[in-house]
């Protein structure tokens, strides 16, 4: 459990909050690159880390990410005209370029000189790996882009599904790193893995993983050890890449899942479910799995909402639950949503002062500790080291079997790291 104060510290991400400030030290994914058209195309609303922004490409294709509200009288620039290297507010015609500089102020005689003093908030943005990323922290602390493999591979090696969900980022992300729940929530009554779910059968046979957690330069290595026969242990190694991504362990021979969770505000989250191959384009067989409505859920066309949602009980099928699936809910994502969106009340933030944690929750405890420690240190003026280590992010998750005699207690980090680099 956490104290109420630490719970608040963990979940609040708006401007000037300790966790919000920490997150702003990293490149933040804000939208799919495909949501923006070409030069001078329509601006797009973006809400991220509790801030309302508007994204656009200027006439030269440069990305702009501005405060949504015009500095004149706060009209929303989303309604604006994207014309000749700037976004023009339709209320009184003030125009801003991608740096936030006012380049035209046409509704008063003092405009030509006054415009030089007017600037709106703008954040550096770049396109990388199918997403638009923004840096929302102090400009002199802007780091290099982290070497996350999923965003470095060619575009045809990667598939991204974006979802917008009710729920605070922390409880959704805690689900991502939690290997323990896979043995139950994502299981079937026959003990076999969900087809396409990319989970070794051992996970459903041994439901009591032992955790080995290790602090790393990029975040955390979270290893779950299970029995896999007399002489063998099965290891699932999830990687937490501070602060937005979790690499999910899966047996070799298929695409890797990178789960990206970004706070929209304290009560809503953006979820990018990213599947990628390091060495080959996604093939027809792999794409078919990603389109089966199980591995990746169906999304309401024209939206980022899953068809399975709280209002329709995630389309739970109680007959299926009695005979086939542990939950009766079809997609793996909706199985996760059913439990993580309703931890103590749908749409509320989980009260971690009322939990009953056990040894099965060691990874959750490690994640919270890492974030809380970093946020508290930043409050005292100590910058987080991870943004200065972009190359450390080039790791993979692990899923493998080792002889039980392999020593791991002390050397777990180095030994496991060697297998995932
Ligand atoms: S509110 Fe934007 S120009 Fe007046
Ligand atoms: Fe899950």
Least confident of 62-66, 68-72, 235-239: 235-239
With the C-alpha atoms ordered 344, 362, 358, 272, is the resulting torsion angle positive or negative? positive
Structure confidence by residue, pLDDT tens digits, 372-386: 999 999 999 999 999
Whether residue 181 has pLDDT greater than 80: yes
pLDDT at 192 over 50: yes
Query: Which residue out of 89, 100, 108 has the highest number of ligand 1 atoms within 8 Å of its CB and is therefore the one to mutate?
Result: 89
Mean pLDDT of 151-161: 98
Rounded to a whole number of angstroms, the CA Rg of the chain reads 23
Q: What is the pLDDT of residues 104-153, one digit of tens each?
A: 999 999 999 999 999 999 999 999 999 999 999 999 999 999 999 999 99
Q: Which CATH superfamily is domain 149-420 in?
A: Naphthalene 1,2-dioxygenase Alpha Subunit; Chain A, domain 1 (3.90.380.10)
- Residue 81 CA: which ligand is closest? 1
Residue 387 near residue 28 (C-beta atoms within 8 A): no
Which residues have any ligand 1 atom within 6 Å of their CB? 70, 72-73, 75, 89, 91-94
Tell which CATH architecture fits domain 27-141. 3-layer Sandwich (2.102)
Average pLDDT, the chain: 94
Compute the distance from residue 176 Cα to the ligand 2 centre, in Å: 6
Q: The pTM is what? A: 0.95
How many whole angstroms from 332 Cα to the centroid of ligand 2?
A: 7
Query: In this structure, are residues 336 and 177 in contact, taking their beta carbons and an 8 Å threshold?
Result: no
Question: Hey, whose CA ends up nearest to atom 3 of ligand 1?
Answer: 92
Q: In the predicted model, is pLDDT for residue 419 greater than 70?
A: no
Measured from the Cα of 77, ligand 1's closest atom is 2
**CA 229 from chain center: how many Å?**
35
pLDDT of residue 4 exceeding 90: yes
**Residue 366: what pLDDT?**
97
CA distances to 67, 74, 244 from 375, in Å: 25, 32, 15
The Å distance, Cα 108 to ligand 1 centre, comes to 12
Which is the closest atom of ligand 1 to the Cα of 94? 3
For atom 1 of ligand 1, the residue with the nearest CA is: 73
Res. 412 pLDDT band, cuts 50 70 90: low
- The per-residue pLDDT for 198 is 87
N-terminal to C-terminal alpha carbon distance within the chain: 33
Model confidence at 410, in pLDDT bands (50, 70, 90)?
very low
Ligand 1 centroid, distance to 109 Cα (angstroms): 15
Distance of CA 68 from the midpoint of ligand 1 (Å)? 11
Average pLDDT estimate for 11-36: 98
By most ligand atoms within 8 Å of CB, the mutation choice from 43, 66, 73 for ligand 1 is: 73
Distances in Å between the Cα of 170 and the Cα atoms of 18, 207, 263, 287, 336 are: 14, 24, 9, 30, 13
Q: How much distance in Å is there from the Cα of 32 to the middle of ligand 2?
A: 23
Domain ranges of the chain: 27-141, 149-420
Q: What is the mean pLDDT of residues 20-49?
A: 97
């Amino acid at each position: 459990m956490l104290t109420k104060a630490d719970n608040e510290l963990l979940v609040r991400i708006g401007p000037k909050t300790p966790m919000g400030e920490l997150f702003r030290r990293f490149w933040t994914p804000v939208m799919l690159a495909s949501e923006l058209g070409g030069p001078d195309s329509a601006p797009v609303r973006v809400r991220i880390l509790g801030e309302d922004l508007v994204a656009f490409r200027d006439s030269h294709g440069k990305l702009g990410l501005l405060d949504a509200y015009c500095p004149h009288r706060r009209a929303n620039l989303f309604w604006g005209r994207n014309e000749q290297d700037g976004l023009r507010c339709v209320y009184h015609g003030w125009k801003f370029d991608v740096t936030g500089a006012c380049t035209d102020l046409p509704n008063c005689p003092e405009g030509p000189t006054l415009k030089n003093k007017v600037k709106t908030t703008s954040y550096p943005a770049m396109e990388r790996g199918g997403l638009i990323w923004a840096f929302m922290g102090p400009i002199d602390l802007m780091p290099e882009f982290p070497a996350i493999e999923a965003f470095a591979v060619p575009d045809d090696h990667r598939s991204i599904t974006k979802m917008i969900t009710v729920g605070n980022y922390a409880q959704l992300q805690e689900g991502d790193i939690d290997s323990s729940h896979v043995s139950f929530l994502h299981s079937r009554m026959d003990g076999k893995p969900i087809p396409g779910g990319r989970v070794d059968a051992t996970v459903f046979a041994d439901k009591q993983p032992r955790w080995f957690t290790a602090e790393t330069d990029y975040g955390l290595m979270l290893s779950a050890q299970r029995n896999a026969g007399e002489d063998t242990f099965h290891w699932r190694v999830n990687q937490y890449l501070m602060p937005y991504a979790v690499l999910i362990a899966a047996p070799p021979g298929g695409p890797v899942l990178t789960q990206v969770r970004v706070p929209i505000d304290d009560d809503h989250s953006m979820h990018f479910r990213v599947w990628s191959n390091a060495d080959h384009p996604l093939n027809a067989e792999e794409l078919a799995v990603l389109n089966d409505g199980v591995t990746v859920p169906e999304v309401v066309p024209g939206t980022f909402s899953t068809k399975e949602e709280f209002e329709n009980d995630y389309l739970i099928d109680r007959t299926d639950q009695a005979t086939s699936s542990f939950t009766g809910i079809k997609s793996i994502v909706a199985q996760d949503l059913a439990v993580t969106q309703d931890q103590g009340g749908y749409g509320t933030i989980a009260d971690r002062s009322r939990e009953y944690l056990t040894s099965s929750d060691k990874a959750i405890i490690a994640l919270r500790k890492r974030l809380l420690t970093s946020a508290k240190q930043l409050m005292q003026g100590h910058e987080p080291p991870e943004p200065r280590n972009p190359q450390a992010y080039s790791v993979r998750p692990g899923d493998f079997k080792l002889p039980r005699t392999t020593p791991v207690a002390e050397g777990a980090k180095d030994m496991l790291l060697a297998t995932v680099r």
